[in-house]
Amino acid sequence: MMKKLIFTIALLMLSMPVATIEAGDSSSVEEQAKESGTMWICGGPKSTKYHKSKTCRGLNRCSKTPKKISLKECKKKGYTACRICAR
* 41-64: burial string, b at 16+ Cβ within 10 Å, e else: bbeeeebebbbbbeebebbeebee
Confidence of residue 50 (pLDDT cuts 50, 70, 90): very high
- Provide Rg for the chain, Cα atoms: 18
Please give the model's pTM, rounded to 2 decimal places. Answer: 0.57
pLDDT of residue 34: 53
pLDDT tens string 24-37: 444 555 555 455 57
pLDDT tens string 72-85: 999 999 999 999 98
How distant, in Å, are the alpha carbons of 4, 16, 71, 76 from that of 84?
Answer: 39, 23, 17, 21
CA 19 to chain centre: 13
**Domain ranges for the chain:** 28-87
